[in-house]
Structure formats: C-alpha cells, structure tokens
Amino acid sequence: MIHYTGCPVCKSELIQEQLTAKDHTVSKNNFSIWHCNTCSVRFTQDVPTEDAIGAFYASDNYISHSDTRKGIINSLYHLVRNRTLISKRNLVKKEAGMSKGAILDIGCGTGAFLDTMKKAGWVINGLEPDATARTKAAELYNVEPQPSGKLFDLQPGTFHAITMWHVLEHVHELHAYIKQIETLLTPKGKLFIAVPNYTSKDAEIYKEHWAAYDVPRHLYHFSPQSMENLLAQHNLKLSKVKPMWFDSFYVSMLSEQYKTGTGNLLKAVFNGLLSNIKAWGVVRKCSSVIYVISKS
C-alpha cells in the first residue's frame, strides 16, 4: 500500500481526510479519500502499489478492459460510444489543426478510439497496461497496442496529438508520465486529458457513493485547479476545457446502483440532467471534462 504524507500533485503537507468510499466493482472494501488544501486535488489514501493493483481490475464488469455489454448501463454506454468517438476525433483534428497526423492514445483499452483515428487517416500508436484489453484490441480492430512501460522508449517530438481518455487518474507515476508526455509532443502538439471532476453537481449529490471516485483504481480525483497546478510543473499550459455531457448520466446511473443497491433510472437521469444544467456555461463544473493542453 502507498501512504501519502504529502499531496501527490503539489507535495503540500496541508492534506486531510475528506470521505470514505467503497470499491463496488471488485473487493467491496472501503478506501479513504484525502483532500489537499493547497492545490485542491483529492487522492485515494493507502492504495495498492502498481504491482499489486492489477487484482482490482479483475472484473468482467470493468468495461474499458472487457468491452462488456452486460446490463442496461453498459448497453447504453455502447449505444452512446460511437457518437462520443466521432466527437473526440473531431476535437483532436480541430485543436491539433490538421486532418491527419501522428497520435498516441495512452490507456487505449480495447482500441475503439485508435480504430476511429486509423480510419481517419492518422498514424496510430497505443499503450495499454492490461494484456486482456490488448488482445481484444487486436481481435476487434486489428490494432496492436504496446504495454504502458513502452511510453519511456518512444522518440521525443514524435506526436501531433496525445490522448488520455479517463486514464491519468489511474497512473501511479503521475509526474514521470506528464514529464515524458511533454517531451513526446511536437512543438505545436496537443495533449488531451479527460478525467472526472469532483467539483460537479452529481459528485455533490452522491457524495461517497459517486461512482467516478472508483476507488482504488482512481488514484487521484482532479479539480480544474489541481490540473492546472500539475501541468504548470511540467512546462504545459491549459488551453481549453471541454464538456463531456453524457458522463453525468452514466455516472449517475452507476451511483444510484451503489447508493440504493438496485438503482433508479429516472432519478439518475434527473440528477445527470441537473448536473449538466448547473455546468451549462460553466464547463469547469461538468461531471467529466476534457483538458486541451499545449506546451508553454
């Protein structure tokens, strides 16, 4: 287990316990979430080490690895996914300022986004820590991701775009990853980081039952302020913040299950909609956000 005596983002010692959340996916154990009073990041305390955390991903319900369609929530996820893949593709093309280029998708899962970019004419590279997910990527899309450790073997200045779709919150070597990513970007390259946002309305509603805490797999729980702090330490700057409107509904549906044991679809949809209304015009309050990042 890793016990932090200082903030994993800014190293401040002004940290305190905030709440306790349950791992509903695998272990059913409780984990403590702490808050940094300096940069405002939250982090899961006493998390398994990188070598030990693999067991907490060992579930057929973990959709990014299994690509499962089991249950109504996962079925709805797949229904929406095609639209979000196109939206991500268009965002990358627009912000990178090119219709084709070289892209690295870190934590590419079963390869759906890589396939989307390959069909758009991009030169693709993918990294994925889970061997099962890498196998599925080859089977489903004929793409061959490499193990995540290969990140540090890639050539500097290679990629016009680097994407991390709900990945950074899983990375043990947080600062080492960000430092390496900065070197891999071309001078005008763009980094896209999508993460849950604990300052959202749905997080406020569900509190310790908020599914996007996803302990212990989510090591960190970012606010926009904490993300800017992290980037500034590595010669990167936040250019734009973009909303992920569908995430509030998906997270609320899971959160209702965690809170009640059975779920309430209508209530989840209402709370997801309420969260988006609160974030309308204030994207930094969206349930999940995409940070578009440039070199300083």
pTM of the model: 0.92
Q: Which among 87, 73, 85, 139 is positioned nearest to 114, based on CA atoms? A: 85
CA separation for the pair 210, 202 (Å, rounded):
7
Q: How far is CA 256 from CA 56, 113, 210, 247, in A?
A: 21, 28, 8, 14
Confidence of residue 30 (pLDDT cuts 50, 70, 90): very high
Mean pLDDT in the chain?
Answer: 93
Instruction: Output the pLDDT for position 284.
Output: 96
Sign of CA dihedral 211, 289, 75, 161: negative
Q: Which residues contact 81 (CB under 8 A, 6 or more apart)?
A: 112
Mean pLDDT of 134-156: 95
pLDDT tens track for 99-142: 999 999 999 999 999 999 999 999 999 999 999 999 999 999 99
Q: Give the 3-state secondary structure of residue 221.
A: strand
